Chains A and B, each alone.
Chain A
Amino acid sequence: MQIKEYESSKLNEKYYEIEHSSGLRIFVLPKEGYRSTYAIIGTPFGSINTEFDLKDGKVRVPDGIAHYLEHKLFESEDGDAFAKYAETGANANAYTSFDKTCYLFNCTEQFEKSLSILLELVTNPYFTEETVAKEQGIIGQEIKMYEDSPEWRVLFNLLGAMYHNHPVKVDIAGSIESIAEITPESLYTCYNSYYNLHNMALSVVGNVKVEEVLEICDKYLKEQEKAEVESLFPTEPYEIKEAYTEQIFPVAVPIFNLGFKLKAERLHTEEELANLDILLFMLASSTSPMYRELMDNGLINSTFSYEMFEGSGYSAILFSGESRDPEKVAETVKAYFDKVKAEGLDEKDFADAKKATYGDALGSLNSVETIANMLEDFYFSKRKVFDYYDAITNATLEKAMNILNEIDTANSSLSVVKGE
């Protein structure tokens, strides 16, 4: 078992990376002076992983199964994990995203017991016809809750407009129809492939020592044989599917999502990501001339935001907000990006944007939750946390310009949800 140490004197942080003998990848970042500990274990199995290749053949599972599995893993033969966590006072939860499923807790005492519950939870599946059926009603209502959320609708309508085939366009929880097809057997198939310890990572941050974590893992985890699984994705053209999509929904203020679809052959590196974050701050934050123009013309309000959105086989820059004239917003954003592409970036603004991006990233290191999630995300994206921070400090105008030149504003979709 090898323990690697990563230290950043500038950030005053240090973390450890361990390849545990069980196969599990472990990250530990002790935070001095903190009284709580946050632990999260994840697998790169999200809503997009509905087709995969096992050694003995290809498998297609129902939409929403990763999320369904997340709910069902909380139950074991001897009861529900929430009840066990209650004994330690830990606050536990789980979530499923496009490309991973994570289980977590935050505790202030009885860390060993809480971590053992977490490890037991992900290593002891228990699915029966009866327990699987019981969840249909609960998840059915979760799906309907999201159906009533215009933010959720506008995002999935956008993904449906940008992507022809990629499963990122499918709702994370699936549909009432698709989850009806889920059986204990299909859950076990997914579980046995993706919940193999060799495919998972545990991150622990806060009031904790690395030895403590390893001791508990030694005690509760057995060595596992590696499971081979490869996620399969349909071929996705670079071009968007539709430029515009609209849904009528009872809203008083129309909302929009605008997406610039990017090439997605591989994920961005730490350096590309840092330069992209700085670039987007320059072009779209409240300091930018574009934001000013949109505001002065009454086109956006302070809900306007942007984000980088990427994973296996999909990559896009998303803008969202409320607007009485979304098409005009899209036009302004695209024209501004094109203008900067032609004219170049301002040096002083770049220096300020770099500082602001650094300040923002630095703030994330306050929270045990944010750090632990960042360690998981970065691991599954094959990135290193401190390299990202260094890349912000070392960002240059030229690198940012190169990123900007890869954005084709014509390859974009606009999604609008508005009232009748």
Chain B
Amino acid sequence: MSTNIREKLSDNVYFNEINVDRFKTMRLTAIAMLPLEKETASDFALLTQVLTRSCEEYPDFTALSKKLSSLYGASLSAGVRKAGETLALTFSIAGIDDRYAFDGDVVSKELSELLLKVIFEPKLMDGVFDSEEVEQERRQLIDLADSEFNDKRVYANSRLIGIMCENEAFGIKRYGSREDILKSTPKSLKKAWERMLKGASFEVFYVGGATAESAKEIFKEKFAEIDRAPEKLHTEIIREATEVKRVEESMDVAQAKVLMGFRTNCCKDDEGVFAMRLMNVILGSGTRSKFFLNIREKQSLCYYCFSRYNRFKGILTVESGVENSNAQRTVDAVLHELEEVKKGNFTDEDVRLAKLSVASDFVSITDTVTGNEEWFVSQLTDPEFLSLEETTAKLNAVTKEEIIEAANKLTLDTVYILTGKEEFDAD
């Protein structure tokens, strides 16, 4: 069984220990949260990659990789994600639990120390990051930015958010733009690193069987040396759409991608957030949803059609892939299903089963190492973390009326359709 302990190490720095002994591996993750801004997103994204490429002690990536491989193939990874208009810089190390090492090797302590080293003791040259290493990572980040276009589903989703949130920080991509990536310098990265240590809010998560005491102590020591001044984190919530934006683009694709974005007038800090989560399940998430049963199974319009609720930003997005000629029909079908939920055309049994399915998914995620961490990461920037039981209880308390109310808060903001060229021209 697991025990969760949350301890404050410094100003806006928390260490979360999730003690579980049923896994064969451990994982330590540090998340630094900063405001999502156009000017700095690329610097921060690039910073995470440069930091986990080497450090003072293992000064190039082959040396660091070899160290990881000698630690039973431990993995060190980093990335950025958006939690509303907060940019979360993530640094993780994962490796085997000491009980499974050969000949009494002790691995976990070294892993914790290694993560600390990459975050706090980077390899610097003349007081800034090594320009060759920055160039290597810049090239890769540009590839990442460019390759978003490769996958048409990812691309279409990114276009939807870009159009819908054009004038909001949320419209900024997690790694900024290609132009901004080109502007980063060893010096601007050094500045970003210092800003992160001083101004970010930190959540550290440890999942494993052994005690996290030593990892916690080093984090504490490191932060004690820093003059902390945590920055304010805020997400702008647009409550209602005033008009529907509609953008159609064409490309040489086999299938049209239909995307829709709604304002939900309900975000994580609002009362109705649990009702909105269940509304999303009934409308468009899973094999019992209205989208699956009607748009896919009854009308055979698509293979996939689902909705996703972003409680950080208070928006709900819908994605589907259909024949070019069925694009408008799909938009209408989605609006029709939403109308059904708004009118309350679903049963108490639907509500009960939606709750059952969500509760079951919750329990299942605690059976994976990353799931234990993800449970809390999904609550980043919340004033307090809820346990699985607390969240389940809140979901179970939601009534059918509250779900109808949630559906009625939705307003359509943006429709984005990516169609294949030929049919598009013929239309």
Binding site for B on A (CB under 8 A): 10-12, 31-36, 80, 82-83, 85-92, 106-109, 134-139, 141-142, 144-145, 147-151, 206, 249-253, 255, 281, 285-287, 289, 292, 295-296, 298, 301-303, 322, 352-353, 355-360, 362-363, 365-368
Contact = CB atoms under 8 A, between A and B. Distances in A.
A138 B303 contact: yes
Contacts of A31: 22, 367
A248 to B, nearest CB: 9
B300 A36 contact: no
Contact of B367 (A148, A365, A368): A368
B173 to A, nearest CB: 14
Nearest to A150: B150
With a 10 A CB-CB cut-off, give which of B69, B136, B297 has the most chain A CB atoms: B69
A302 B140 contact: yes
Nearest to B297: A80
B348 to A, nearest CB: 14
Contacts of B304: 141, 145
A287 B150 contact: no
B301 A33 contact: no
A99 B222 CA distance: 53
Contacts of B72: 355-356, 358-359, 362
Contacts, number: 190
Interface in B346-392: 353, 356-357, 359-361, 363-364, 366-369
B96 A362 contact: yes
9 contacts: A32-B22, A33-B21, A34-B367, A148-B253, A251-B149, A287-B66, A355-B73, A358-B73, A362-B72
Contacts of A362: 24-25, 72, 96, 100
B251 to A, nearest CB: 6
Nearest to B2: A33
A107 B360 contact: yes
Contact of A35 (B102, B300, B356, B363): B363
A33 B21 CA distance: 9
Contacts of A145: 153, 255, 303-304, 321
B62 interface: yes
B151 interface: yes
Given A92-B287, A366-B369, A367-B368, 16 more contacts: A11-B24, A11-B100, A35-B363, A36-B367, A82-B287, A86-B353, A134-B300, A145-B304, A149-B152, A251-B147, A287-B68, A287-B69, A303-B143, A322-B150, A353-B69, A368-B367
A139 B140 contact: no
A89 B287 contact: no
B109 to A, nearest CB: 16
A418 B110 CA distance: 43
Contacts of A109: 360
Contacts of B151: 149-151
B402 interface: no
A155 B356 CA distance: 39
A359 B71 CA distance: 8
Given A33-B21, A138-B300, A363 B96 contact: yes
B169 interface: no
B70 interface: yes
Nearest to A207: B367
A365 B367 CA distance: 11
Contacts of B62: 287, 289, 292
B393 interface: no
A353 B301 CA distance: 49
A229 to B, nearest CB: 30
A344 to B, nearest CB: 19
Interface in B88-103: 94-96, 99-100, 102
Interface residues of B, number: 67
B359 to A, nearest CB: 7
Given A82-B288, A86-B288, A141 B146 contact: no
Nearest to B97: A362
B140 A301 contact: yes
B95 A359 contact: yes
Contacts of A368: 367
A289 B76 CA distance: 19
Contacts of A295: 61, 136
- A-B interface, 10 closest residue pairs, ranked by CB to CB distance from nearest: A356-B73, A359-B72, A137-B300, A89-B360, A33-B22, A144-B255, A359-B73, A89-B356, A147-B254, A142-B303
A366 B368 contact: yes
A32 B1 CA distance: 10
Interface string B282-307: 00000110001000110011111000
A289 B69 CA distance: 14
Contact of B96 (A87, A150, A359): A359
Contact of A144 (B25, B66, B136, B321): B321
Interface in B1-22: 1, 20-22
B65 A286 contact: yes
Contacts of B363: 35-36, 108
Contacts of B99: 12
Nearest to A356: B73
Contacts of B218: none
A287 B61 CA distance: 8
A250 B255 contact: no
B254 A148 contact: yes
With a 10 A CB-CB cut-off, give which of B252, B301, B364 has the most chain A CB atoms: B364
Nearest to B1: A33
Contact of A322 (B95, B147, B321, B366): B147
B24 A286 contact: no
Given A32-B22, A301-B143, A144 B65 contact: no
A88 to B, nearest CB: 8
Contacts of B153: 145, 148
B322 interface: yes
A357 to B, nearest CB: 7
Contact of A251 (B150, B287, B297): B150
B73 A250 contact: no
